[in-house]
Structure 1
């Protein structure tokens, strides 16, 4: 068992003010400073300027936030690693249920996020940037968002679509210049009010990673938006659709993209089949049922503790956009507790600890099978 710190954070003000405060929070921690200011081979002055141009177009304000952060640390802004890692890992599960399937007749979005514990912020943050929509979600490298929902009741989660793409050596190199998912998700949360607006915003956004993005709004609209090597596809459902729930694990779900990666990891296929077996034809699904699904152990559940194999559940989340509520459990262990947060209320800033279990995976689960079995 390993003990880890987790935090909640309330951020308000201009992008610059928020960035400066983030910088002051880590200014006393030498190890964190090195993590945020490392450089990557092949990311030079030209790439830095291209990244700024891309952020200013699609994620306005992030450049100012990084400037404030860098000034608090007394380093050049181009040295902040977020530029290199976002300008272009995780293995996750996500489920969107429309109101007809839930016990309270309200839309729900459930998600697990699996990765390595050393590459997780373990921070839930509520962010109110001047002139943008207030949103709440978990952070990546402080500036990005892995997930979240905003004051208008739009929720967004993600899972990798096929083999992860990234700027580090053990990931697949991107096929195009563009943004990583954590920059795209934050941009959507700060600028869109519902699923329709989010799909329009994402349609022309250059996203360099391969990602399944789940969208749900408080009116009961849901969509699965997938990207694969720059190709896009989307499936949109509403209360009148024959299907009333969507799911995604770590492979292409939509037929338009399957030909680009016609195989999937065994663990991804098994989790997908298990989700469908639990929910197909169901009504009256409760919050507790979904939380149990998230914390039941793989293969008869969605939770994994294989952190050293980059497949450990760092967080489980349940979003109720109509209620403005997130329920969050860190570390894939019920013993760490489910905690409830309301987007209408500022977060009380806290630091506490959780425990995670370190287990080793059966490597056979990382083998691949055809999507057309």
Structure 2
């Protein structure tokens, strides 16, 4: 058993200054050495810049700020943080349920490859967002000021190619899209590097799962609630699934049982974060332990989030934050207890 912490960071500024402040904040954090060990020292900067210029030009400014904040060359910052042409990640699990009223999700992986950062940022030229950082610039999941919520779910590395990581895609979607349909359209255009599901919901009650591979993108919709785990459902993409999807199928079947139970936002959040829940895992050594639970209620703009085995719940009215009310929490504390 070991202590586990996540820093909470709030920044309202230009994209460059957001990067600058973020760079200064993480300068002595362990995540930098982790990223240096798992990213390539050099990528195709021309292609990376072209993709960013198309989908999120303001993030180029944020990378420049990161470069200056860390006092490292700009090209090194691009390799470390852009999420373009990132080496393969072999395993990752996530479960989400989306209703017309709320979105709830667990993220499962290893604490050794985790930024340990929850950011609320309000750029001048993009939507304000709140979510868990991945590779600093990207996001595991999050919500924006328009009431759009999104999360990633690893499927496989079939047809792996140079492209945009799923976490960078989540950041691009949250920064620029207002609705589920807007997000779908962007995810159809982004060049994906691996096979991922993207779970989406918006304040109009529209939900979808985008099943994305490097070669094809399909969209799955359904009645509320809509579940999303770690395998493709579309017949045209099922051949991209991993050989073993039993755990993913089992979690999906569990989530489908909520169809007629009418859980509230808080009840579903508590179900996901409960250590005895069928969607809470402790196999951290094999990259499958629950690290955080995040949820969002569309009607009252309420974020509820907590990290592993924590009694501390971060409860945020995000619209209040957007209009200038900062929150008081600066660190989340939890515990990693591995399965025997």
Q: Tell whether the structures are fold-level matches, with TM greater than 0.5.
A: yes
> Is 2:154 aligned against 1:160?
yes
Aligned residue in 1 for 2:97: 95
Q: Which residue of 2 aligns with 1:233?
A: 218
Q: Tell me the equivalent position of 1:245.
A: 225
Q: CA deviation at 1:349?
A: 5.9
Residue by residue over 1:99-140, the C-alpha shift from the partner in whole angstroms, topping out at 9 and shown as x without a partner, is xxxxxxxx2111000000121122221111112111111111
CA contact (8 A) 2:82 2:137 kept: no
Structure 2 portions without partners, runs of 5+: none
Q: Which residue of 2 aligns with 1:168?
A: none
1:341 aligns with 2:316: yes
| In structure 2, distance between residues paired with 1:71 and 1:38 | 21
1:217 to 178, 185, 202: 202
Larger radius of gyration: 1
Instruction: Indicate the residue corresponding to 2:80 in structure 1.
Output: 82
Matches within 5 A, 1:1-373: 1-27=1-27, 29=28, 31-37=30-36, 40-41=39-40, 44=42, 47-80=44-77, 81-83=79-81, 85-88=83-86, 89-98=91-100, 107-161=101-155, 163=156, 165=157, 175-237=160-222, 243-261=223-241, 263-277=243-257, 279-280=258-259, 282-297=260-275, 301-331=278-308, 333=309, 335-344=310-319, 345=321, 346-348=325-327, 350-352=329-331, 354-360=333-339
Residue 209 of structure 1 deviates from its aligned partner by 2.0
Aligned to 2:197, what secondary structure does the other structure show? strand
Q: 2 CA distance for matches of 1:30 and 1:246?
A: 37
What is the TM-score when the length of structure 2 is the normalising length?
0.89
Please, what is the CA RMSD of the aligned residues? 2.3
Residue 297 of structure 1, CA deviation: 4.6
Name the SS of the counterpart of 1:202 in structure 2: helix
Query: Displacement of 1:283 after TM fit?
Result: 4.6
Q: How many residues align?
A: 331
Distance 1:9 1:355 in 2: 17
Q: How far apart are residue 32 of structure 1 and its match?
A: 4.4
Shift of 1:144: 0.8
Q: Which residue of 2 aligns with 1:368?
A: none
Are the counterparts in 1 of residues 139 and 168 from structure 2 also a CA contact under 8 Å? yes
Distance of 2:52 and 2:184 partners within structure 1: 19
Measure the CA separation in 1 of the matches of 2:290 and 2:110: 8
Cα distance in structure 2, aligned partners of 1:156 and 1:352: 23
Displacement of 1:253 after TM fit? 2.1
Q: Distance in 1 between matches of 2:35 and 2:72?
A: 11
CA 1:314–1:86 in 2, change beyond 3 Å: closer, same or farther? farther
Give the TM-score taking structure 1 as reference length: 0.82
**1:263 Cα deviation (Å)?**
4.1
The runs of 5 or more residues in structure 1 that have no matched partner are: 99-106, 166-171, 238-242, 362-373
The structure-2 alpha-carbon separation of the partners of 1:251 and 1:112, relative to structure 1 and needing over 3 Å to count, comes to: same
Contact 1:305 1:356 in 2 (8 A): no
> Would you say the 8 A contact 1:116–1:312 is kept in 2?
yes
